[in-house]
């Protein structure tokens, strides 16, 4: 039972490069979320999805895109990475009617 | 969006003692959930305790308990008999309404240091 799995766990990018973070869940979660965590800022919501084929903006969506083509996967894309996107990224999932969000182990991204 | 405020960036407690972490929130909703998450150095987000707003009884999980004051919009976490393994960052979180996908709104966190 893998739960919520993020790939990769670490990544270093150069400014202007693009990349995709993958979040995969095997818990049949309807809702999925991408957060970023910065020192002294807590976790802030980037984008979320309430079901397959749906996405919506969170608190800090600029510079990111997402897709939910399959229920079990939620992808976070950076088209042109900037140093301000250096952060730890967390994916989470939750079930309809559920009260708990389950988090992945996080991805530490450094943009130089 | 609902605002969650943790006013203590850092707290320290001696092993076996009790510590209380503070959290306040702002909402116009009457039914909602509140959570405390623990984040140890491993970075994993671990659910410590949850509280349903319509339940007047404060939630308890072993050494962890909350003081939920709905009218004051206050949700503090009490850790009894503190252990070295309790050292971590603690986040208070509010679960948003369905139209925001039930996303969690987090406070900025409180770093808890446990001294021998």
In the structure, what pLDDT confidence band is assigned to residue B4 with cuts at 50, 70 and 90?
very high
Count Cβ–Cβ pairs < 8 Å, chain A vs chain B.
51
Of the residues B97, B101, B111, the best mutation for testing chain A's interface (the one with the most A CB atoms within 10 Å of its CB) is B101
- Say if the Cβ atoms of A48 and B101 lie within 8 Å: yes
CA distance B4 to A65: 26
Please answer whether residues A83 and A67 qualify as being in contact, where contact means their C-beta atoms are separated by less than 8 angstroms. no
Using CB atoms, which residue from B4, B100, B108 is nearest to A41?
B108
Kindly state whether A48 is in contact with chain B, defined as any CB-CB distance less than 8 angstroms. yes
Using CB atoms, which residue from B1, B9, B101 is nearest to A59?
B1
Q: Is the dihedral of CA A75, A79, A81, A85 positive or negative?
A: negative
Span A57-77, average pLDDT: 97
Nearest CA in chain B to A49: B101
pLDDT at B1: 65
Span A69-84, average pLDDT: 97
Nearest CA in chain B to A100: B47
Q: Is the pLDDT at A1 greater than 70, yes or no?
A: no
pLDDT at A48: 97
Angle at B33 between CA B31 and CA B36, to 5 degrees: 155
- Say if the Cβ atoms of A105 and B44 lie within 8 Å: yes
pLDDT tens-digit profile of B10-42? 999 999 999 999 999 999 888 899 999 999 999
Q: Is the pLDDT at A98 greater than 80, yes or no?
A: no
Contacts of A48 in chain B (CB under 8 A): 100-101, 103
In the structure, what pLDDT confidence band is assigned to residue A2 with cuts at 50, 70 and 90?
confident
Angle at A40 between CA A66 and CA B63, to 5 degrees: 100
Find out whether the peptide bond into A8 is cis, omega within 30 degrees of 0.
yes
Of A40-49, A91-100, B15-24, give the lowest mean pLDDT range: A91-100
Give backbone dihedrals phi and psi of B85, rounded to 5 degrees, phi first.
-70, -5
CA distance B7 to A101: 24
pLDDT tens-digit profile of B65-79? 999 999 999 999 999
Computed over every residue of chain A, the mean pLDDT equals 95
Percent of chain A having pLDDT more than 90? 91
For residue B46, which of A74, A101, A36, A71 has the smallest C-alpha distance? A101
Of the residues B33, B44, B100, B104, the best mutation for testing chain A's interface (the one with the most A CB atoms within 10 Å of its CB) is B104
pLDDT at A18: 97
**Residues contacting residue A108 through CB under 8 Å, at least 6 positions apart:** A9, A10, A11, A88
Span A76-94, average pLDDT: 97
What's the residue count for chain B?
A: 116
Q: Parallel, antiparallel, or unpaired for β A4-7 and A19-25?
A: antiparallel
pLDDT at A78: 97
Percent of chain B having pLDDT more than 90? 86
Please answer whether residues A71 and A100 qualify as being in contact, where contact means their C-beta atoms are separated by less than 8 angstroms. no
pLDDT tens-digit profile of B40-99? 999 999 999 999 999 889 999 999 999 999 999 999 999 999 999 999 999 999 998 888
- Tell me which residue has tokens 């339940």: B55
Contacts of B53 in chain A (CB under 8 A): none
For residue A3, which of B45, B40, B104 has the smallest C-alpha distance? B45
Distance to chain B for A80, nearest Cα, Å: 26
């Amino acid at each position: 039972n893998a739960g919520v799995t993020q790939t990769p766990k670490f990544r270093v990018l150069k400014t202007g490069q693009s990349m995709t973070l993958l979040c995969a869940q095997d818990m049949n979660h309807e809702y999925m979320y991408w957060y970023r965590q910065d020192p002294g800022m807590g976790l802030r919501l980037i984008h979320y999805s309430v079901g397959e084929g749906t996405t919506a903006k969170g608190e800090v969506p600029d510079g990111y895109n997402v897709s939910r083509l399959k229920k079990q996967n939620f992808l976070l894309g950076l088209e042109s990475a900037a140093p301000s996107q250096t952060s730890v990224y967390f994916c989470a999932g939750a079930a309809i009617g559920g009260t708990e969000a389950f988090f992945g182990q996080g991805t530490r991204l450094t943009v130089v | 969006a609902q605002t969650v405020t943790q006013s203590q960036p850092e707290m320290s407690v001696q092993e076996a003692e009790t510590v209380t972490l503070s959290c306040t929130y702002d909402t116009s909703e009457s039914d909602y959930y509140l959570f405390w998450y623990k984040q140890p150095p491993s970075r994993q987000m671990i659910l410590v305790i949850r509280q349903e707003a319509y339940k007047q009884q404060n939630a308890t999980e072993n050494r962890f308990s909350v003081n939920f004051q709905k009218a004051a919009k206050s949700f503090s976490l009490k850790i009894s008999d503190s252990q070295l393994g309790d050292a971590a960052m603690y986040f208070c979180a509010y679960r948003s309404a369905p139209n925001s996908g039930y996303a969690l709104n987090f406070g900025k966190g409180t770093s808890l240091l446990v001294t021998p």
